[in-house]
Amino acid sequence: MDKISGQVAVVTGAARGIGAAVSKRLAAMGATVVLTARDESRLQKVAAGIEASGGRAEYAAFNLLDEAAIARFADGIRQRHGRCDLLVNNAGVGHMGKPLWEMVPADWDAVMGANLRGVYLMIRAFAPIMIEAKRGHIVNISSLAGHNPLKNGAAYSASKWGLNGLTYSVAEEMRDYGVRVSVVAPGSVNTDFGGGGSGRDPSRKIQPDDVANVVAMLVTQAPQSFVSEVLMRPTLKP
């Protein structure tokens, strides 16, 4: 699959889990992948692994709530590459495990900040580059919690319902410019997100590479159409 050879892909939350898997997959398909997250040492490790496999990777560590840092990052991409073809908004936080009334406001703000405001800031920074080029694809990683109630995860669920609505709306705003916007909503994924193991069989969960496969499918669609949303479920319930 060389349809994205020579393209530039930005992936948030790329230090582990789904973000790392997506980054590796896009690099294997020929894209130059720019990894972002807060954990610089993990980013460096993922980038080194990509380069050891013959891919091209860069990384930048910053907080997705830092508007100025995101603006500087986007300016750097424009100056170095002159393009951004793919943006995968994967970073997110959970703060699950207790009813909403026990959640402190700081945790609520952290969930909404990472899962919604960070996505908004990244789109705000990179959409102009795509619009100028009249091409590009934004993929937001959501969750089935954005389609269903989630006991003891109300804030997380609300943020993902919001992300889905944001995605559908931005897709309408950008389609006239040749830019596609999609959302992937997986169920239980075998990562350490939200504190990791819950006593469920990890082999039955969706694997990060499964999500990476879907992203690869989305960004290689023929230009006259796009898949707006993918819902993913484990074949066997964990």
Enumerate the active-site residues: 156
Alpha-carbon gap, residue 153 to 98, rounded angstroms:
7
Contacts of 67 (CB under 8 A, 6+ apart): 121
Please report the sign of the dihedral spanned by the C-alpha atoms of residue 65, residue 20, residue 238, residue 231. Answer: positive
Q: Is 122 exposed, middle or buried (CB count within 10 Å of its CB: 0-12, 13-18, 19+)?
A: buried
Strand partners, 58: 34
Comparing CA positions, the residue from 173, 176, 186 lying closest to residue 213 is: 186
Contacts of 26 (CB under 8 A, 6+ apart): 4, 9, 11, 33, 86, 88, 215, 216, 219
Residue 166 contacts residue 140 (beta carbons within 8 Å) = yes
